[in-house]
Amino acid sequence: MAKTPSFTCNACGAVHNKWSGRCDACGEWNTIVEDTGLSAGPAKNSLGNARGKGMTLTDLSAKETPPPRTNSGLAELDRVLGGGLVPASALLVGGDPGIGKSTLLLQAASAFSRKGLKTIYVSGEEASAQVRMRAERLGLQDAPVQLASETNLRDILTTMEAEKPQLVIIDSIQTMWLDTIGSAPGSVSQVRAAAHELTSFAKRRGVSVVLVGHVTKDGQIAGPRVVEHMVDTVLYFEGERGHQFRILRAVKNRFGPADEIGVFEMTGRGLSEVTNPSALFLSERGKPTPGSAVFAGIEGTRPVLVELQALVAPTPHSQPRRAVVGWDGARLAMILAVLESRCGIPFAGLDVYLNVAGGMKISEPAADLAVAAALLSAREDSALPADTVVFGEISLSGALRPAPQTENRLKEAQKLGFNAAIVPKGGKPGGASGLSLTRLEDLTAFVGDIFGAG
C-alpha cells in the first residue's frame, strides 16, 4: 500500500496533509514542502536498505579529553561564548543593519587569528578590497586573516576543504546560494539548506563556523526558525543608533550560560570592551531628579546597574499615552493597574513615559519595584535618594517578592558607591553589611514609607 505523502512548513514545522501556498498555522507563504522518507531514492543509495550499517557507537562512560576552547583575548566576547570558542561549533549572529556585526566579527577574526587559529572571512555582501579597507580603518591590516568574496556555497566548501581552516566566518547566510536549489538567495529553502551544509561541515571537519544573519522588522533573525535549532549558539547584537553602547547577548548556548551579555562601546577605531557596564550606564547620571531610579539587575551571570527614567504628565488627549523604551509595555500596564487598585494611586488622564537609560533592554521581573519607584517619583515630583538602588518583583496582589541573586546585586551596588537599597522581605543579602537595607512587605508599605502616603 502506497504511503500517503505529508507536507511540512519550513517556518513553523506544522504538518499538512496536502500542499498549499499558505501555511494555516503561521500564515507564511511558499514555505510548505513535501517530506521525503529516509528510504526514498535509488535502491543502492537508500538509507532504508542499509539500516544501521556503518554507524559506530561509543560508550558514554569512556573518558575522552574535551577539545580545548580558544580565547580571543576580547574578554566580553569570550564571556558571551561561555569561556572561549569551542572547536567544531556553529554560531549564528544577528542584529539590525549597521549596528556593527561585520565590525565585531572582523575584530574577532583578527583576535582569533593572532591566537593561532587559521581564519577565513567570507563576505557575500562586500568585495575583498572593501573588507580590507575596513580592516585598515580598524588597524587590523596586519592580522593573518584570509579574505574571500563569494556567494556560491559549492565553491566556498571546496575552498574550505582545501585550505583546512579552523575558523570560518560567513557574512551573511542570506547571501549564500546552492546551485541544486532553484529558488533565489535569501529564500527559506536556500537559507535552510545553506545553514545545514555549513553546520554539517563544521561538525564533520572540526571547524568553527560563524554565520551572520539578517533580522526582520520584529528583531528576529530572518529565515526559517529551524536555522536557530541547527546551530550551537545564537547571539544577538543589540543597541540604539543614538547611543555608542552595543550589547552582545546570548539567547542560546550549548557550551555556556544563556542570556549572558557582553558590553561594547562603538568608537572611531571600532568596538572597544566595557569592563564595568554599571559604571558606564550610570556615567551620565547627574543630580537626583524626580522620575529617576537605579535598578540593580542581573544579566546572565553578571550584575548590572542601570537607570530607569519615568515621566508623568497631564495628557491633552482623551486617551492617555503609554510609551516604553527598553522594557515590556504589557508589564508597565500591569504595574499601573496594581498601583491604582492596591494603593489607590490613579494614572487616569496622565501620559506615562518610561525609558531605560543607555539603550539597555531589561526583561527580568525584578525591575518591577524600580519601575514603580520611578513612576511614583515622577507623579509626586519627589526625587529618590541618589545613593539608593531598588529591585523586587510585584505580584498582582501588591505583595513584593524577593529577586534571585540578591547578594550579587547588593555587592555590585556597594562597589559603585551606593549606600542604601530598597528590597522586598525574604531575600538573602549576605555579604552586604555596608548597605542600609529597607525591607518592605508589599507595595502599600513602599508607598507609605518612601513617599509618605499609604
User: Binding site for ATP: which residues?
Assistant: 95-102
Residues forming beta bridges with residue 32, ordered by sequence position: 9
Distance CA(79)–CA(361), nearest Å, equals 19
Q: Which residues are annotated as a binding site?
A: 95-102
Within 13 Å, how many C-alpha atoms sit on residue 98's CB side?
Answer: 4
Report residue 328 as a C-alpha cell: 515590556
Report residue 163 as a C-alpha cell: 585550505
H-helix segments, 148-245: 153-163, 188-205, 226-230
Report residue 168 as a C-alpha cell: 570560518
CB 310 within 8 A of CB 377: yes
Distances (CA, A) of 21 to 185, 193, 363, 380, 407: 20, 20, 37, 56, 55
The DSSP code for 399 is B
Distance CA(76)–CA(262), nearest Å, equals 5
CB 202 within 8 A of CB 157: no
- 42 SS3 class: coil
Helices and strands in the chain: count of H runs, count of E runs: 11, 21
Distance CA(113)–CA(85), nearest Å, equals 12
| Buried b / exposed e along 348-361 (16+ C-beta atoms within 10 A) | eebbbbbbbbbbbb
The DSSP code for 366 is G
End-to-end CA distance of the chain: 76
Distance CA(447)–CA(454), nearest Å, equals 6
Other CB atoms closer than 10 Å to residue 5's CB: what's the count? 12
